[in-house]
Structure 1
Amino acid sequence: MIAMNRNRREAVRHVGLRRIGVSCLALGAALVPAAALAQTAPASQDPEATEIDEVIVTGIRGSLRSAQSIKENADQIVDSITATDIGALPDRSVTEAVQRIPGVTIDRLQAREDPDRFSAEGSGVQVRGMTQVRQELNGRDTLGALDGRALGFEDVPAELMAGVDVYKNPSAELIEGGLGGTVNLRTRMPFESSGRLIAGSLSANYSDHAEQWKPQGSILFSDRFDTGSGEFGILANLAYSELASRSDGIQVSPYRARRLGDDALCAGLQNPNGDPYACGQDWIDQSYLGLTADQTLYVPEGVSWRRLDSERERLGGALALQWRPNDQTEVFLQYLRSDFDTRWDNYEAIPQVDANNNFVIPAAGTQFTFDDDGYFQSGSLRQISYWRGSQPVAGELGTQYRMATRHQEREESSNDLSLGVRYYPSDRLAVSADLQYIKSASAGWDFTIFSSAYVPEVTIDLSGGRPAAGLGPDTFTSDPANYFWHAAMDHIDDNEAEQIAGRVDVAWEFDHPVLNSIRFGGRFTDREVTNNYTQYNWQALSAPWNEPFLWMDTVLPEYAMLYSFDNFFRGDVQAPTVVMPDIELARGFLRSSDIIENIGGNARWSPRGFDAGSLSTQTEKTLAGYAVARFGWENVPVPVEGNIGLRVVRTENTARGSGFLPDLTSYPDLPADDRAFGTGAAFDVSGEQSYTDVLPSLNLKFQLTDSLIARFAASKAIARPSFNQMFPFVDLTASVNPQGTVVEGWGGAARGNPELKPMRADQFDVALEWYPSPTHSLYFTAFRKNVEDFFTTGVHTRTFEGRDFLVSGPTNGEEGTIQGFEIGYQQFYDFLPGWLGGLGLQANFTYIDSEGSTSQQYISEWDAAEVIDGLPLEGLSEKAFNIIGLYQRGPIQARLAYNWRGKYLLTNRDVSDVRLPMWQDDYGQLDGSVIVELRDGVSLAFEGNNLANSENRQLMGANTLKTRSWWVYDRRFAVTLRASF
C-alpha cells in the first residue's frame, strides 16, 4: 500500500533499535519526528509527495510535544514521558516521573509488607491498580537478584533516560508478563543525534529533615562519523547521585478487644483465692475497666516512636555503539550498568506487651476514656503481668517498652549487555535479531539490638488525632540502671540472578489496499536465580522468661546510648529520651557480633550464617512465538487501521530449596509414625511446573476527524509470580492434643510457593482522543480486566511426605474484575497575551473499581484468630489524580505538580507485631521546579519535592479501620547546572 521509502526505513531502523515489535509509529514519532509525521499522513494523501519540515522544540513544550506524538501515532494504547533535553526527565527519579502518567501510582515505602520504613524516593509502581507490571529497558528484560524479576525503578538513574513509555493493552509482539501494563525505559542511541553531542549536569541536593547536602552529576558524550567501512556511532553516559533522608513516625499499637467471658478460669467472676492475678483477664477487665457482660472495649498496648535515617548512593552507566556498514545493515551493542547501595539506621521505642500474659490497665487512681464505639481515647497506662520467669508475679509493673537500634546495608548491581543486527534486504522487508545477557547481584545484612525497661508512667491522648503521648518520669527513662539487654536479631542474604535471552523478528510490508504488513518472530529466555537467605534470627538476651536480667548499667555499660529523638516531627511532636543500645554496636555487626554473643547470663543469641537451609535455586525457561497483521481501510466513511495478533508462550519453572519438619521429639506418647516423622530436621523442598499460554490481541484505531481518534483494544495477558513468591522454603508445625497422644492438625508457614500459578486476565479498552495541536490534547479511556488466580497470602493445603498441611503463605485467590477510566488533558495557552502565553496545564484523573474476593489472610489477632475474606487488591487506589501547572516563555520554564492518590491496601498482613491488614491513607504531595536558560545549551534549575511537608498516615484493620501511624519526611531541594553543546 505504501512503499518503504527512506524515511520509513529510517523509522524502522530506530524501532528495531528501540524495541522490536513496538509500533514504528509510536517510537518513530519520538525519535524522528519528520518520518513519523510522514507515516501518519491522512489516507487521502500520497506520503511520497508530502513534505514536512522538522520542527525542533525543547524544554517542557518539547517534552510534551514528543510524548503527545507518541500517544497519538501509536496503534495501541500508550502514555509516555520524554526528555528532549539531555538528562532532564521531569523528576529526580524514574519512579517519581512515571507517577505523572494517568493510571500509574507509586508507593513511598521500602516494602509494602513492612510499612514502618520509608524510601528516600518513590518505590513500587502500579499500573491501573496492579503491581504486576512488566519493566523493560529498551524493549528488553531487566533483572533484579532480590526478587528475580526486575530491577527496582529507583535503581536506574533518571539522567540516563530519554523517555518512559507505559503500554496498557499491548499487541501480541510485546513481550508477555505485564498484567497491569508494561513500562519501557528508553536510553539514548548515538544515531539519534545529528553529530557530536556533549552534555553534563551537576547538582547539590538538600534534605531539610536530615539536614544534609548530597551531590549528583551526569555526563554524556555522543558522536557519529563516517569511516571507510560505513557510519559509526558511539554514546557513553555516566550518572552518579547520593541522597540522605529522615522519616519520623508515631504509631498506635493494635487495639485489643476487651470483653468478658474470654477467660474460662473466671466463670462468674469469682475470685476464691484472693489472688488478683490468678483469675486472669475477666477479673482484671471487670475490676479495672468496669466492664459488664454486654460491653466490648478496645485498648491499645501503647504508642511507639520511630525514626529512620537513610542514605543511598546510585551509579549508572550506559555505552551504546552503532555501525551501519551499508544502507541495508545495521549492528548495535548496548551495555548498561547500575549500582544501587543503601544504608539506614532505625531507632524505635515500642511497647512490648505479650497479649497472652500481660494486661494494660489504668494507672492507679485514673480511668481510661473511650469514644462512642468503645475505642480508647486517653488515659495513663500501666501493665499487669502474672507470669515472670518460673513464678507468677503478684504485683503490678510498669509498662514494658522495647528500645531498638537497627542497621541495614544493601548493595545491588546489574550488568546488561545486548548485541543486535538489523537487516533490510528490500524496501519492504526488515529482519532483526538480538541477544541479551544480564547478571544481577544483591547482598545485604540487617542487625537489631533491643533493650527494655518497665516504664512507670505512660500517658496517651488520641482525642486530637495525632497521638500526644509520653514516657516518664525523665529521671527514670534516662537512667541505664532501669534498662536490661533484651534481645538481638540478625539477617543476611546474598542473591544472584542471570539470564540469556534471544529474539528474531521479521517485518514485511505490502502494497495492498487492506493488509499493510505482517510481523512475526520468536524469543527464548533462560533464567536462573540463586538465593542465600537466612530467616530473621530473633533470640532473647534477657527477658521476663529467662532471667537474670542483664542490666545495662553493669553489663556493657559503654554500649548504653542516651537517645532523645531530637527535632521529632520537626519539633511538632513530643518524644521521650530513652536508653538504647549504641548504634555503633548495630553498625559493627559483621566485625563485633561476638560482643553480644558472649554477653553472659542466659542469652540465647548467636549469629546465623548460611547453611543448607538458607540456599535455594530457581530456574525459568520460556519460548515464545508471535504473529501480527497490520491492516487499514482508507476509502470508508471512517478510516480505520489496526492490528490483530497472537502470541504463544511456553513457561517451565523449577525450584529447589529446603524446609523444616515439625518437632515432635517432646511427645513420647504420640504414635510411632508421627514421632518418626516429626524430628524437626531439615528436608528438601522442590517443585516444578510448566504451562502454555495463548495470548490473542486486537487493536483498532478510528480516525474520526483529522484531530479526533477513537480506539478499541482487547487482549489476553499473563503475569508470572515473582521468584520471591515461589521461594521454596516452608517451616512445618503440628498441633497436639493436651494429653500429648494425638496430632490434631498439621500446619506451617511458607515464604513462597513453587506451585503458584500465573495470574491471567482478559482485558478491554475503549478510548476517545482529541489532538487539536501538537501540545494540546484531551482524552478519555475506559478499561476492564477480568482476572483469575490473583496472587495473595492465605491458608492453603500442600502435601509433604505424604501428609496434607494447612500452610499460610503465597497462594492463588479467586476471580475478580478491575475496571475504571482515565481522563487526561494538556494545553499551553498560547492565545493569552504577553507573558501569560507561556502558561500551560496538565491534568489527569483515574478511577478504579474492583469486584470479587482478591485477598484472603489468616489473621493472628491479639485476642482471636479469624479468616478475613474480601479485602481489595493490594496497591489499588480507587481515585488518583495529577494537576501540573506549566510555564515556558523565553529563558524561563516552571512546573508545579500536585500528585494525589486515595486510600489503598498496603498488605493483607503486616510482617511486624501488628499482624493485621495495613492501609495507606489518602496522600498528596506537591513538587515543583524552575529552570532558567542562561545561554544556548546552559541552564540553571531549582527543584523541590514535598514542598507542602505532607503528613503520611497509615491505617490498620479489616472491617473497622483505625489510624496506626503518622509519618513525616524530608522536603528535598536541588540546584542543578546543566549544559550541552
Structure 2
Amino acid sequence: MCRFALLISAAPLALISTNVHAQNTTDISAQHLDAEGDQPSVTESGSGQSAVDPRDIVVTGYRASLSTAQAIKRDSDAILDSIVAQDIGKLPDNTAAESLARITGVQVTRFGDEVNGVLVRGLGDIVTTFNGREIFTAELRTVRLQDFPSGSLSGLEVYKSGTAELIEPGLAGLINVRSRRAFDFKDGVTVAGGIRGTYNDQSEKYDPQGNLMVSWRKDTGIGEISILVNGSYTQSQYRNAVRFGSSTITTLGTTQVVNPGSVGRDFRYPDRIGVFSNSGKRWRPSANASLQWKPAPNFEVYADFLYQGFRQNAANDLFEASLRAMSPTLNDVVMVDGKPDQVQSFTKVGGERSQMYRSTADSYTNTFQYAGGFKWDVGRARITSDLAFTKSEFGRDEWSFDTANTSAPTIDVEFFNDGGVAFDLPGFDANDPANYKWRGFFELTNRVKGQGWQWRTDVDLETDVSFLPKIQVGLRWSDRNASLQQGSRYAGTERLNIALDSLPIGELNLIPDAFRTNVQGFRQWLMPSRAGIVGGAPELRELALQSLQQLAVRFPTEAGLRDAIRLFSTPEVQLDPYTGFAAKEATYTAYGQAKYELPIGSWEIDGLVGLRVVNTVGEYSGISSVTFDGVRQPEPRVTNANYVDLLPNFSMRIRPTNRLQLRFAYTKTRTRPEFGRLNPAITITQNNAAPTPDAPPDPRFPADLQGRPDAFGSGGNPNLRPLTSTNYDATAEYYFSRTASITAGFFYRDLDGFINTYARRVRDPLYGLLEITIPENAGKGRIKGFELGGQTFLDFLPGLLSGFGVQANVTYLDGKNRYPAAFLNSAVQDPPFVKIPFLSKWTYNAALFYEKGKISTRLSYNHRSPHLISNLFDANGVYNGEAVRSISRLDYSFNINPIPQVTLTFDATNLLAQPFQNYWQYGDDRRYPRDVRDEGRYFGLGARFRF
C-alpha cells in the first residue's frame, strides 16, 4: 500500500523491545501485518520461537526495528521506550548509556569522552535492573550504565511510568538492561561476535573492542536444554583540555593597585584562572552466561551469571593562578562595554606564584551477580520465582605530584574569548626546570564494598471475569550491606624550595597539548610522566617523610606536621576510620495488581490498578570526630530507620480506532538516599590555616557571619528523607502503518525532598564561627513537560529512494524546586523556587537512515539546550548559579553485508566536536565563563559475524 507520514518528530533510534515483563510479550524475530488493520502482530510457537506465516511479509533491519518498536509501544501496559541490538553485539552506540541519549525524554551528561550520567525527563534518580533484577555497584543503589558495553547486551528498556510488579522505580523511572538468554536461539550451535577498532582524534590513540557469544540448544530425553556464554571487551583512551575561570567572583583588595585608575575599584572578577587536562585509559571486560532447562513444556528452570568489570588508569594535569592573593597589580584593565563593574581583560603582575599538579590514579570495579529461578504455567496461573546474589567492590589508589612556579609570572587574561577565559604568560620559559619547585606529594586509598540478596515470587492469574481478566500478586525481599574505608596523606614541601629536576621521577617533559584551537596561549608546562610518578612513589614517600621531618625541626609548634609525619611513617596509606561508614538495609515488599477491560461500543478500554507496599529497615553507622589543638576525640554513631512506602498505580488505555490510542496513568515513586549521604558521622576540624590578609567577604553569608571560620564541619545526614514523586502521564499514539507513527506524551511530576549539599555558618558556643557542609532535603518541586515523536520509512518514493527513513523526537521540560529554608540567610524571607539542576528545557533527536539490499546507513543528530549545574543565594538574597550552554552532536554509521553471515561497519561519533561550555551567574544579568572543554571525535571500523 502507499504509505505516508506527517512527521513532526520521531521516536528514538532503534526503538525495539523484547521480553518486557510488564507487557507479557513474546520474543520477536519477525513482524508481519494482520489481515484486517495493517497492524503488527506477533504469534508464538510451542518451541518458544515466534512463528511467521509464510504468506506474511517479513521485514528485517531498520524496518524490523521500527515495526517492533510500534508493536511493543502499542501493546505495553506501561509507558516505556526501548532500544535493542539490531544484531548480536550491535546496539546503536558503544555503551548502553550512549544509546539511551537517543530516546525521547532522556538526557545525558558527558565527561572524559563518554556519557557519565543519564536523566529521564530531567531527573537522575533512576533505578537500574539487569534482566529484571536489581543491580548495583559497591555502595551505590544503582549501576553506572556506561559500564555496560553494547556488545554484551540484547536491549534496554526505559520505564517512564511504573506498574506494581516492577521493582519500585526511582523518581525518574526504571531502566532495565537486558542480556541475551539461552532460549533466544534455534536448535544447534550459534556462534556470533564482532571486532572493532576506534581512533580518538584528540588523544590520537587507537583502541580495540570485541565480543564473542556461543549458544547451544538441544531437545533431549530429559527436556529442552540450552546454554549461552558471552564475553565482551571495550577500551578507550581519551584526553580532554579545559580552560577555566573560578566560580568565586571576587572584589579588589584594599592594597591592590589598578591601572588605569579611571576604571574605578567597584568591579568584580574571577579570583582564579587555569588550565586542566584529564586523560586516561579505560577498559571494561564483561561476561554473562545463561542455562535454561525445560523438563516439561509448562515448566522451566534457569540459572544466570554476570560479571561486569571496569578499569582505569588516569592522569589529570592542572595549572592554576590566583588573580587576587598577595595583592597583585592589575595593569591595562579593560571593562566590558556597557558594564563598568565587569572586566574584559587585564594583565596581572606579581602576587601569588602559580601552582600545578599531575594527579595519577588507578581504579577498578568488579561486580558479580548469580541468579536462578523457575517459571511454571499451571492452568490459568503462571508462577515465577527468582533468587539472586550480587557482590561488588570498587577501589581507587591516587598519587598526586604537586609543583609551583619559583616566582609569580606575569599573566595576560581575557575573560570573554571564544566562549571562555583565555590567558598567556609572556616571557615565561615553560621548558626551564629552574622555573619550578616541588610543592608536595599526595596519596589516597579508597575501598568500597557492597553485597546483597534478593528474592521474589510472582503469580499471574487469568480469571473468568470478563471485565477483570488478570490478577497479579507477588512478594519480594532484599538484604543489602555497604561499607567504605579510605585514607589519605599529604606532605607539603614548598617551603623547602626543592628543585624539580633533583627528584627521582625520571625525565621531565611538557604535558601534551590537547586543545583544538589556538585561543588559549599558555597550555603546556613541565611534569614527570605518569609512570614516573606511580613508579617513583616509594622514593617520593621517603622524600616526603624526610621533608616533613626537616619542617618539624624548623617549625616545632606546628601540630599538623606531627600528624603528617605519622601518616607517612608506613609504606601503605593508613585507613582513616573517621572517613568510613557501614550500612545494612532490608526491604520487605508485597504487591497486588488487576487488569481491567471495559469495552464501550466500538471503543476498547483497559488498564491496570495496583498497589506496591515496601517496608524499609536500615542501620547506618560511622564515627564522628572533633579535632582541636591537635587532639582528635572520636564518637561512634549508629542510627536506625524503619518506614513504609505505599506506591499505588492506575492506568487507562482508550482505543477509539485500531490506529489511535490514548493513555492516562497515575503513579507514586520514591528514591532512597545513597548510603554515603545517610552516614551519621560529622567531622569538625579546627581551622589551623594562617589568616589571609585583606580576604574578600564570602557572598554566601551575611555580615555577622563573615570572617575567618574557627572550624569546619562536614558529614552525612541520617535524617534525610526519601525523595518522593506523584506522577501524572497522558499519551496519544497514532499508527499510520507498521513503520509509521506519531506519538505525543504529556507529564507532570509533583516532587518532594530533592537532596543537595549546602554550606551554612553558625556561632557555636564551643567551636566559635563554624562553617558546616552537609546534604539536606530541599523543599517541594515540580516538573512538567511534553514529548513528541514520529518515525517512518519513505516507501511512497520510487525505486531506490524508498529505502530512506526518518526518525525524530523532541522533549520539553520545565522543572523547579523550593530552596531549603534552613540554608537561607535572614535577608531572604521565603524560600524561592529555583531551577532543578541538570534539567534542559529542550532536547532534540533526529536521524536520517537508508536501508536497501546489502547496505544500511544512518546519520544521527542530538541537541540539548542549556541546563543548570548548581544554584545558591548570597547574603543579600541574590541568585547565584552555574549553568551549561547548549550543545549538539552528530554521529554517522555505515553497514554493508558482503555475505549474509558477515557485516562490515564504519562509524564516526561527535563529528561536530562542539566544546562543552558553562558559566557562573552572580546576579540578574552578570556572568563570567567557567569552563571550555574540548572533546574527541571517535572513528571506528569493525566486522560482525553470525554462524
Of the candidates 475, 485, 504, which is equivalent to residue 522 of structure 1?
Answer: 475
Change (3 A) 1:327 1:82: same
Of the candidates 611, 624, 629, which is equivalent to residue 659 of structure 1?
Answer: 624
Of the candidates 203, 206, 209, which is equivalent to residue 213 of structure 1?
Answer: 206
Q: Is the contact between residue 203 and residue 936 of structure 2 (CA under 8 Å) also seen in structure 1?
A: yes
Of the candidates 531, 551, 560, which is equivalent to residue 584 of structure 1?
Answer: 531
Q: Is the contact between residue 192 and residue 213 of structure 2 (CA under 8 Å) also seen in structure 1?
A: yes
Query: 1:799-878 residue pairs with structure 2 within 5 A?
Result: 807-854=772-819, 870-878=833-841
Q: Is the contact between residue 38 and residue 52 of structure 1 (CA under 8 Å) also seen in structure 2?
A: no
Which amino acid letter does the alignment assign opposite residue 298 of structure 1?
R
Of the candidates 246, 251, 254, which is equivalent to residue 282 of structure 1?
Answer: 254
Instruction: Percent identity, please.
Output: 26
Change (3 A) 1:927 1:867: farther
Q: Is the contact between residue 697 and residue 713 of structure 1 (CA under 8 Å) also seen in structure 2?
A: yes
Of the candidates 540, 551, 556, which is equivalent to residue 499 of structure 2?
Answer: 551
Q: Is the contact between residue 68 and residue 774 of structure 1 (CA under 8 Å) also seen in structure 2?
A: yes
Q: Deviation of residue 525 (structure 1)? A: 0.4
Q: Is the contact between residue 487 and residue 538 of structure 1 (CA under 8 Å) also seen in structure 2?
A: yes
Cα deviation per residue 1:478-537 (whole Å; 9 max; x = unaligned)?
322232211233221111110100001000002322011000001010001111123x64
Quote the Cα distance in structure 1 between the aligned partners of 2:88 and 2:368. Answer: 23
Change (3 A) 1:690 1:681: same
Please report the TM-score for the alignment, with normalisation by the length of structure 1. Answer: 0.83
Q: Deviation of residue 255 (structure 1)? A: 5.6
Q: Is the contact between residue 203 and residue 239 of structure 2 (CA under 8 Å) also seen in structure 1?
A: yes
The answer on 1:471 being equivalent to 2:425 is yes
Quote the Cα distance in structure 1 between the aligned partners of 2:634 and 2:85. Answer: 53
Cα deviation per residue 1:659-694 (whole Å; 9 max; x = unaligned)?
32141x49xxxxxxxxxxxx5323223322121011
Cα deviation per residue 1:620-663 (whole Å; 9 max; x = unaligned)?
11011000000112343421110100000001121111232141
The answer for the alignment partner of 1:174 in structure 2 is 166
Query: 1:391-470 residue pairs with structure 2 within 5 A?
Result: 399-426=352-379, 428-453=380-405, 454-465=407-418, 466-470=420-424
Quote the Cα distance in structure 1 between the aligned partners of 2:65 and 2:118. Answer: 22
The answer for the alignment partner of 1:783 in structure 2 is 747
Which amino acid letter does the alignment assign opposite residue 445 of structure 1?
D
Of the candidates 865, 880, 904, which is equivalent to residue 902 of structure 1?
Answer: 865
Quote the Cα distance in structure 2 between the aligned partners of 1:813 and 1:540. Answer: 38
The answer for the alignment partner of 1:257 in structure 2 is 250
The answer for the alignment partner of 2:454 in structure 1 is 501
- Aligned residue-pair number: 878
- SS of 1:602's partner is helix
Of the candidates 161, 179, 187, which is equivalent to residue 187 of structure 1?
Answer: 179
The answer for the alignment partner of 1:107 in structure 2 is 109
Of the candidates 320, 323, 335, which is equivalent to residue 290 of structure 2?
Answer: 320
- SS of 1:76's partner is coil
The answer on 1:376 being equivalent to 2:343 is yes
The answer for the alignment partner of 2:555 in structure 1 is none
Quote the Cα distance in structure 1 between the aligned partners of 2:137 and 2:505. Answer: 41
Q: Is the contact between residue 30 and residue 69 of structure 1 (CA under 8 Å) also seen in structure 2?
A: no
Of the candidates 56, 61, 72, which is equivalent to residue 59 of structure 1?
Answer: 61
- SS of 1:525's partner is strand
Of the candidates 844, 850, 856, which is equivalent to residue 887 of structure 1?
Answer: 850
Quote the Cα distance in structure 2 between the aligned partners of 1:438 and 1:38. Answer: 47
The answer for the alignment partner of 2:142 in structure 1 is 150
- SS of 1:484's partner is strand
Quote the Cα distance in structure 2 between the aligned partners of 1:338 and 1:174. Answer: 23
Q: Deviation of residue 806 (structure 1)? A: 7.3
Of the candidates 308, 320, 323, which is equivalent to residue 338 of structure 1?
Answer: 308
Which amino acid letter does the alignment assign opposite residue 882 of structure 1?
N
Quote the Cα distance in structure 2 between the aligned partners of 1:853 and 1:785. Answer: 14
Which amino acid letter does the alignment assign opposite residue 256 of structure 2?
I
Quote the Cα distance in structure 2 between the aligned partners of 1:462 and 1:744. Answer: 29
Please report the TM-score for the alignment, with normalisation by the length of structure 2. Answer: 0.86
Structure 2 runs not aligned, ≥5 long: 1-16, 553-560, 691-706, 874-878
Q: Is the contact between residue 210 and residue 232 of structure 2 (CA under 8 Å) also seen in structure 1?
A: yes
Higher mean C-alpha deviation, range 576-585 or range 436-445? 576-585
The answer for the alignment partner of 1:719 in structure 2 is 671
- SS of 2:256's partner is helix
Change (3 A) 1:958 1:782: farther
Which amino acid letter does the alignment assign opposite residue 863 of structure 2?
W
Cα deviation per residue 1:935-954 (whole Å; 9 max; x = unaligned)?
11211010111112211112
The answer on 1:489 being equivalent to 2:442 is yes
Q: Is the contact between residue 30 and residue 70 of structure 1 (CA under 8 Å) also seen in structure 2?
A: no
Quote the Cα distance in structure 1 between the aligned partners of 2:268 and 2:454. Answer: 56
Quote the Cα distance in structure 1 between the aligned partners of 2:37 and 2:451. Answer: 41
Q: Is the contact between residue 227 and residue 289 of structure 2 (CA under 8 Å) also seen in structure 1?
A: yes
Q: Is the contact between residue 581 and residue 676 of structure 2 (CA under 8 Å) also seen in structure 1?
A: no
The answer on 1:226 being equivalent to 2:180 is no
- SS of 1:515's partner is coil
Change (3 A) 1:865 1:41: closer
Higher mean C-alpha deviation, range 95-104 or range 768-777? 768-777
Q: Is the contact between residue 727 and residue 747 of structure 2 (CA under 8 Å) also seen in structure 1?
A: yes
Which amino acid letter does the alignment assign opposite residue 588 of structure 1?
G
Change (3 A) 1:247 1:287: closer
The answer on 1:574 being equivalent to 2:521 is yes
Change (3 A) 1:104 1:311: same
Q: Deviation of residue 869 (structure 1)? A: 6.2
Which amino acid letter does the alignment assign opposite residue 578 of structure 1?
W
Cα deviation per residue 1:521-579 (whole Å; 9 max; x = unaligned)?
01010001111123x6454211xxxx3422335x4286572415435326564334433
Quote the Cα distance in structure 1 between the aligned partners of 2:934 and 2:836. Answer: 26
Query: 1:543-692 residue pairs with structure 2 within 5 A?
Result: 547-553=495-501, 555-556=502-503, 561-563=508-510, 565-566=512-513, 568-569=515-516, 573-588=520-535, 591-598=538-545, 600=547, 601-602=550-551, 604=561, 607=568, 608-663=573-628, 665=629, 679-692=631-644
Q: Relative contact order (C-alpha < 8 Å, sep 6+): which is higher?
A: 2
- SS of 1:332's partner is strand
Cα deviation per residue 1:379-426 (whole Å; 9 max; x = unaligned)?
211234xxxxxxxxxxxxxx5211111111111011011101111121
Q: Is the contact between residue 257 and residue 296 of structure 1 (CA under 8 Å) also seen in structure 2?
A: no
- SS of 2:350's partner is strand
Quote the Cα distance in structure 2 between the aligned partners of 1:33 and 1:217. Answer: 30
Q: Deviation of residue 859 (structure 1)? A: 11
The answer for the alignment partner of 1:159 in structure 2 is 151
- SS of 2:677's partner is coil
Quote the Cα distance in structure 1 between the aligned partners of 2:43 and 2:906. Answer: 47
Quote the Cα distance in structure 2 between the aligned partners of 1:744 and 1:456. Answer: 28
Q: Is the contact between residue 788 and residue 813 of structure 1 (CA under 8 Å) also seen in structure 2?
A: yes
The answer for the alignment partner of 1:277 in structure 2 is none
Cα deviation per residue 1:134-191 (whole Å; 9 max; x = unaligned)?
111111111101x421221111111111111100011111111421011111111121
Quote the Cα distance in structure 2 between the aligned partners of 1:257 and 1:633. Answer: 66
Q: Deviation of residue 580 (structure 1)? A: 3.1
Change (3 A) 1:460 1:41: closer
Change (3 A) 1:160 1:567: closer
